[in-house]
C-alpha cells in the first residue's frame, strides 16, 4: 500500500466503523482489525436470541463496507487483539503484528462476572451475535425437551429462566421470554402447559432501566409483570448450584437457564509502555483527555464503550451507548483529517434512550419527553430500522417484523445444532481467534 501515515483501528463496531468510513483515505493508510468479519448491531441481539430476527439481518460484512470507500486505501484484518506496544507502536493480533502511526482503540466491552468469574461456565450471555445464537438454540432446545418429557418437575426445571440484570438487555430478553410463554408455547408446543414456564428477573437496584427516567422504569415494571415475568428488585444472586439459584435473602429459584446481563468490562488485551494507573479507569475502560486521546499518548485514541471520557456533566464517564460511539468516531476522524487539530472538547449530544419490552410495548426518553406503549414501540422500530446498514438488511428485518406482527408468529424458531468439525477444520487451526 501507500507511504502515507498509517492508522490502525481496533474494532469494527459503531465507533470503529464510523472512524473508518469518515477518515480521509487520500491522507492516511487505514487498517481495520476485528475478531469477526462483520459489523453487528447489539441493540437487536436479544431479538436473535428470541428467534425474532435472523443473525444475518443484523450483521454486515465489513469487507463489503470497505469496498464502498474511495479512495480504497483501507484494509480489513481478521484477528483478536492480543497486545498493544505503545513504545514500538505495534499491535499484535492472533495472526500478525501491525505497525501504526495512529491507533484507535474501539474494542468495546464484554461480560463482567465481577467476583465470580466461574459463572462463565454456568450462565448464558448476550454480548455478541454468537452468544445470541447460542441463547436462541438453548431456549429452543429446552422447549423441545420439555415437549417430550412426561415428568412435570423435569419440565418445570427445563423451562425455568432467570435473567440477571435489569438494564435494557435484561428487560428486553425477559420481555421476549414473556411473549414466548404467553403467545408461542400454547400454539407451537401444545403438550406444554404454559404455567410450567417460569421467568424471573433480578435487579440489584430499586428499579429497572436505571439509566432511564423513573417513568420508563415504572412502565417497564408494569409491562413485564403483564407478561408474567417475576421482577425481583433490590436482589442479587449469591449462589448458583445445580439448577437452583440463591438470592441474598436466601430465596431459592428454579434456574435451569440463567441469562447474565448484569455487567460489562472492557474487552481485555495486553498493553506495553503505558502507565497502567493513568491508562485504565473503572471497568477497565481507557482514560482519555477531552479529545478521546490516551493520556501521554496523543497518537492513541480510545472511543466507544471502551473509552472513559469524563466531563462535568458525566463525572463517571459518558454512557456506553451507540450514539456516543458514533459521535466519538466521527469526531476523531474529523480531528485526524484536520491533521490532528481537534475541536476541543468533544461534546456528546444526547439523543435519548429507549428499550422495548415486547409487542406494542416500549419506553423512550427523548430530552424531556417520555414515550411509552405503542407510540414508543413504533418509534423504537423506526429508529432501529433506519440505523441498520444496507437496504437489504432493512428490507429483511422489516419483512420479519411485519410478518411477525400480523401472524403473531415467527418462521425463525430453528434449532441449528451444529456438526463436529473435521480435524483439518478451522476450529482446530492453531492461532484461531
Q: Which residues does the annotation mark as catalytic?
A: 172
Binding segment toward a second copy, per CB under 8 A, in 116-124, 194-202, 314-322, 355-363: 116-124
- Binders of a second copy among residues 317 to 376 (CB under 8 A) are none
Contact between 110 and a second copy per CB under 8 A = no
- The contact pattern for a second copy, residues 30-69, with x = CB under 8 A and - = no contact, is -----xxxx---------------xxx--xxx-xx--x--
Shortest separation between residue 150's beta carbon and a second copy, angstroms: 9
Q: Are 155 and 146 in contact (CB under 8 A)?
A: yes
Q: Which is nearer to a second copy, 379 or 385 (CB)?
A: 385
Q: Which is nearer to a second copy, 33 or 227 (CB)?
A: 33
Binding segment toward a second copy, per CB under 8 A, in 160-168, 189-197, 326-334, 373-381: 189-197
Shortest separation between residue 122's beta carbon and a second copy, angstroms: 6
Query: For the chain, how long is the longest CA-to-CA vector?
Result: 70
Contact between 123 and a second copy per CB under 8 A = yes
Contact between 408 and a second copy per CB under 8 A = no
- Binding test (CB under 8 A) with a second copy, winner from 181, 393, 397, 401: 393
Contact between 424 and a second copy per CB under 8 A = yes
- Binding test (CB under 8 A) with a second copy, winner from 144, 151, 241, 249: 144
Close Cβ partners of 180 (under 8 Å, ≥ 6 residues apart): 50, 139, 143, 197
Listed residue (199, 223, 195) closest to 209, CA to CA: 223
Q: Which is nearer to a second copy, 95 or 348 (CB)?
A: 95
Q: Which is nearer to a second copy, 18 or 93 (CB)?
A: 93
Close Cβ partners of 134 (under 8 Å, ≥ 6 residues apart): 124
Beta pairing partners, 354 = 364
Shortest separation between residue 380's beta carbon and a second copy, angstroms: 22
Q: What is the total count of residues that contact a second copy (CB under 8 A)?
A: 72
Shortest separation between residue 48's beta carbon and a second copy, angstroms: 11
Contact between 421 and a second copy per CB under 8 A = yes
Contact between 124 and a second copy per CB under 8 A = yes
Shortest separation between residue 47's beta carbon and a second copy, angstroms: 13
Q: Which residue has the cell 449462589?
A: 239
Contact between 134 and a second copy per CB under 8 A = yes
Contact between 77 and a second copy per CB under 8 A = yes
How do strand 59-61 and strand 38-40 relate by DSSP bridges? antiparallel
How many angstroms separate the CA atoms of 226 and 156, rounded? 20
- Binders of a second copy among residues 260 to 279 (CB under 8 A) are none
Q: Which is nearer to a second copy, 154 or 299 (CB)?
A: 154
For residue 116, the Cα-to-chain-centroid distance in whole angstroms is: 21
- Binding test (CB under 8 A) with a second copy, winner from 311, 347, 395, 405: 395
- The contact pattern for a second copy, residues 145-164, with x = CB under 8 A and - = no contact, is x-xx----------------
- Binding test (CB under 8 A) with a second copy, winner from 105, 129, 212, 237: 129
Shortest separation between residue 260's beta carbon and a second copy, angstroms: 10
Contact between 246 and a second copy per CB under 8 A = no
Binding segment toward a second copy, per CB under 8 A, in 23-31, 302-310, 370-378, 405-413: 405-413
Binding segment toward a second copy, per CB under 8 A, in 229-237, 308-316, 320-328, 403-411: 403-411
- Binding test (CB under 8 A) with a second copy, winner from 222, 316, 343, 392: 392
Secondary structure of the chain in HEC code, one letter for each residue: CCCCCEEEEECCCHHHHHHHHHCCCCCCEEEEEECCCEEECHHHHHHHHCCCCCHHHHEEEHHHHHHCCCCCCEEEEECCEEEEECCCCEEEECCCEEECCEEEECCCEEECCCCCHHHHHCCECCCCHHHHHHHHHHHHHHHHHHHHCCCHHHHHHHCEEEEECCCHHHHHHHHHHHHHHHHHHHHHCCCCCHHHCEEEEEECCCCCCCCCCHHHHHHHHHHHHHCCCEEEECCCEEEEECCEEEECCCCEEECCEEEECCCEEECCCEEECCCHHHHECHHHCEEECCCCEECCEEEEEECHHHEECCCCCCCCCCCCCHHHHHHHHHHHHHHHHCCCCCCCCCCCCCCCEEEEEECCEEEEEECCEEEEHHHHHHHHHHHHHHHCCCHHHHHHHHHHHHHHHHHCCCCCCCCCCCCCCCCCCHHHCCCCC
How many angstroms separate the CA atoms of 35 and 48, rounded? 20
Shortest separation between residue 156's beta carbon and a second copy, angstroms: 16
Shortest separation between residue 419's beta carbon and a second copy, angstroms: 4
Shortest separation between residue 82's beta carbon and a second copy, angstroms: 14
Amino acid at each position: 500500500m501507500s507511504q502515507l501515515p498509517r492508522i490502525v483501528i481496533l474494532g469494527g463496531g459503531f465507533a470503529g466503523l464510523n472512524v473508518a468510513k469518515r477518515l480521509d483515505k487520500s491522507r492516511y493508510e487505514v487498517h481495520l482489525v476485528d475478531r469477526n468479519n462483520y459489523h453487528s448491531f447489539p441493540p437487536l441481539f436479544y431479538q436473535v436470541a428470541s428467534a425474532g430476527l435472523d443473525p444475518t439481518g443484523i450483521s454486515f460484512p465489513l469487507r463489503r463496507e470497505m469496498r464502498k470507500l474511495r479512495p480504497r486505501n483501507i484494509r480489513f484484518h481478521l484477528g483478536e487483539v492480543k497486545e498493544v506496544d505503545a513504545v514500538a507502536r505495534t499491535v499484535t493480533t492472533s495472526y500478525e503484528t501491525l505497525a501504526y502511526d495512529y491507533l484507535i482503540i474501539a474494542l468495546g466491552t464484554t461480560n463482567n462476572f465481577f467476583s465470580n468469574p466461574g459463572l462463565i461456565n454456568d450462565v448464558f450471555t448476550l454480548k455478541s451475535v454468537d452468544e445470541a445464537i447460542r441463547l436462541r438454540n438453548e431456549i429452543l432446545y429446552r422447549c423441545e425437551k420439555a415437549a417430550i418429557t412426561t415428568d412435570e418437575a423435569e419440565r418445570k426445571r427445563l423451562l425455568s429462566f432467570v435473567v440477571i440484570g435489569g438494564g435494557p438487555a435484561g428487560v428486553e430478553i425477559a420481555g421476549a421470554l414473556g411473549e414466548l410463554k404467553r403467545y408461542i408455547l400454547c400454539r407451537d408446543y401444545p403438550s406444554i402447559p404454559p404455567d410450567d414456564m417460569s421467568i424471573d428477573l433480578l435487579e440489584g437496584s430499586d428499579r429497572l432501566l436505571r439509566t432511564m427516567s423513573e417513568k420508563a422504569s415504572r412502565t417497564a415494571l408494569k409491562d413485564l409483570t403483564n407478561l408474567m415475568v417475576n421482577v425481583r428488585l433490590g436482589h442479587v444472586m449469591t449462589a448458583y448450584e445445580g439448577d437452583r439459584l440463591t438470592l441474598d435473602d436466601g430465596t431459592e429459584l428454579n434456574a435451569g437457564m440463567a441469562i447474565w446481563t448484569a455487567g460489562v468490562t472492557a474487552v481485555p488485551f495486553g498493553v506495553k509502555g503505558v502507565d497502567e494507573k493513568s491508562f485504565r479507569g473503572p471497568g477497565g475502560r481507557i482514560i482519555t483527555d477531552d479529545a478521546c486521546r490516551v493520556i501521554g499518548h496523543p497518537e492513541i485514541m480510545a472511543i466507544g464503550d471502551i473509552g472513559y471520557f469524563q466531563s462535568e456533566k458525566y463525572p463517571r464517564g459518558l454512557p456506553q451507548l451507540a450514539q456516543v460511539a458514533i459521535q466519538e468516531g466521527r469526531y476523531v476522524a474529523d480531528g485526524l483529517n484536520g491533521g490532528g487539530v481537534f475541536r476541543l472538547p468533544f461534546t456528546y449530544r444526547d439523543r435519548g434512550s429507549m428499550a422495548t419490552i415486547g409487542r406494542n410495548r416500549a419506553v423512550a426518553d427523548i430530552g424531556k419527553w417520555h414515550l411509552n406503549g405503542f407510540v414508543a414501540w413504533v418509534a423504537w422500530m423506526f429508529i432501529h430500522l433506519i440505523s441498520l446498514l444496507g437496504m437489504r438488511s432493512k428490507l429483511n428485518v422489516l419483512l420479519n417484523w411485519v410478518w411477525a406482527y400480523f401472524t403473531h408468529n415467527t418462521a425463525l424458531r430453528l434449532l441449528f445444532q451444529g456438526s463436529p468439525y473435521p480435524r483439518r477444520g478451522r476450529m482446530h487451526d492453531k492461532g484461531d481467534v
